Amino acid sequence: MTMPRRDFVKTVLGGSAALAFGAHAAETTSDPVFAAFLAERARSPWTMGFAGLQADVEPMVLQVEGKLPAGLNGAFFRNGPARHQLGGMRYHHWFDGDGLVQKYQIAGGRITHRGRFVRTDKFVADSAAGRFVRAAFDTNPPGAQPVGSPDAINVANTSVVDHGGELLALWEGGSATRVDADTLETKGFKAWSDDYAGMPFSAHPKIEPDGTMWNFGVFSMRSMLSIYRIKPDGELAQAVTMAVPKIAMVHDFVVTERHLVLLLPPLVFDAERAKAGQTFLHSHVWQPELGLRVLVLAKDALDKPQWFTLPAGFVFHLGNAWEDGSTIRLDCMRAPDAWQAMSGLEQVMQGRFVDHEFARPMVVEIDLAAGRARQNALPHFAEFPRVDPRVVGRRYRALFAAERVDAGERPGYDAVMRVDPETGRHQRYRYGADVMVEEHVFVPRGPREGDGWLVGSALDLKRRQMLLSVFDAEHLADGPLAQGRMDRVMPLGLHAIFVPA
């Protein structure tokens, strides 16, 4: 059942305050997590991708090999956790780090890079103190300040979206943050309405071909889910909040022409654990008996949810969905359990890699008429699924993803692939075991789905360089049409977009 917006907001939100930005304090190795990471640096080159930064990075021109396509002009933006330690303490989980928005400007046959931290209230407060004073996803620093609202711990570190004339840095549990697309300066939190100011707004909004943007937000302490519909001009058209029993860690969703679909893994929030002082991450409990719950919401009847169940598994990301009569077909990246989220990314912050089964692409069919759902796995280990933005919510035959082929004893991915979710036919380009591949995004060129470029960044461990590669998306196996190299290492990030000039 839904509840009035104003009543819900009064129930869950408190006040917030702005604090001045200050200087960084000197770092030491007294923290055991930090010390473990430093001890692994010499024998594990991949750790350079998780060392982090302490300051913004100034513009730098990349050296370009090959020829950039004449029709490719614009900016590739990436967001991700980037400040991992401060005042002698290192965050316990990759998702804790303060967000850094990077911009690769492609113009006139050149690529220019710059990066700037998002000045959230948390970033400003921690910087002024010279140490972490606000809690994070999986780190409760000693003597942490009380948290009065979700935005008090907002790190704006997960994704970016360009919509309604604004560039927004996104997080999971609080507001979107407005960022100047030219200078990357922070312009403050985005409020969709007075009632929903400060409410959770997730990091994976979906923009339909007509420009309508849908998103959701999870408020774990109250087991509530909010749904947003935003007009192409950026104005809020609708917001609905509903109770969801045993709310789970939900990171992404998909839309079709008539429905929204969310997958709720059995990683369930336990409010009593949170009240007892557990971190947000470890306030979640794995309950496989619940299965992987599928929540389907009709766009014209958001207050009438339909529920389905798949075998238990953990899902961060979904690619796309479409309707085939009374059947919804979608893809997701499914792992057998939540080990990577709960433990694997903690190990990474200590400079350690533990081999555990990675996520696989899964094709899901939801039969609305028969009331059942089923899934079929594709034979790959992959993550960060993306599609041609012109087919969001429509039938699609090209899914792009980062793939793990033979990366060896390190986390992450070493290839990019294109796969047809209906036939399984695929092609790939493998960067190699010494290159850590980040999410790549599709940029349209011609009128057909999949006719365009695939653009993405990667970390070359041997050369200690960042790469920005441009592929013909229909001929990935041929390798990059052009590749820019930059002689500085950037923290590995999460999600990216391309904004045409």
Identify which of 489, 499, 501, 500 has the alpha carbon closest to the alpha carbon of residue 82: 489
pLDDT at 28 (0 to 100): 52
* Rounded Cα gap, residues 15 and 462, in angstroms: 48
Return the CA Rg of the chain. 21
Identify which of 366, 338, 359, 435 has the alpha carbon closest to the alpha carbon of residue 401: 359
Stretch 254-270: mean pLDDT: 98
With a CB cutoff of 8 Å and minimum separation 6, the contacts of 370 are none
pLDDT at 236 (0 to 100): 98
Which structure tokens are listed for 417? 């692939």
Q: How far is CA 237 from CA 212, 227, 358, in A?
A: 9, 11, 38
Question: Top-level CATH class of 5-500?
Answer: mainly beta
pLDDT at 30 (0 to 100): 85
Within a 13 Å sphere around the CA of 229, how many CA atoms are in the beta-carbon half?
Answer: 13
Stretch 32-41: mean pLDDT: 96
pLDDT digits (tens, 9 = 90+) for 387-431: 999 999 999 999 999 999 999 999 999 999 999 999 999 999 999
Average pLDDT across the chain, whole number: 94
pLDDT at 434 (0 to 100): 98
Please provide residue 127's backbone torsions phi and psi, each rounded to the nearest 5 degrees.
Answer: -65, -40
Strands 314-324 and 166-170: unpaired
The pTM of this model reads 0.94
Total count of residues recorded for the chain: 501
pLDDT at 148 (0 to 100): 87
pLDDT digits (tens, 9 = 90+) for 430-447: 999 999 999 999 999 999
Stretch 303-328: mean pLDDT: 97
Q: How far is CA 28 from CA 34, 38, 131, in A?
A: 9, 11, 11
pLDDT interval class at 457 (50, 70, 90) = very high
pLDDT at 29 (0 to 100): 66
- Give Cα 99 distance to the centre of its chain: 11
Task: Inform me whether the pLDDT recorded for 10 exceeds 80.
Answer: no
Stretch 372-376: mean pLDDT: 97
Task: Inform me whether the pLDDT recorded for 134 exceeds 70.
Answer: yes
pLDDT digits (tens, 9 = 90+) for 157-189: 999 999 999 999 999 999 999 999 999 999 999
pLDDT digits (tens, 9 = 90+) for 281-296: 999 999 999 999 999 9
pLDDT at 9 (0 to 100): 43
pLDDT at 466 (0 to 100): 98
pLDDT digits (tens, 9 = 90+) for 62-117: 999 999 999 999 999 999 999 999 999 999 999 999 999 999 999 999 999 999 99
Domain boundaries, the chain: 5-500
Q: Which DSSP category does 337 fall into?
A: S
Identify which of 461, 447, 482, 474 has the alpha carbon closest to the alpha carbon of residue 414: 461
* Rounded Cα gap, residues 467 and 429, in angstroms: 14
343 backbone φψ class: left, alpha, beta (φ>0; ψ -120 to 50): alpha
* Rounded Cα gap, residues 227 and 219, in angstroms: 12
* Rounded Cα gap, residues 164 and 146, in angstroms: 34
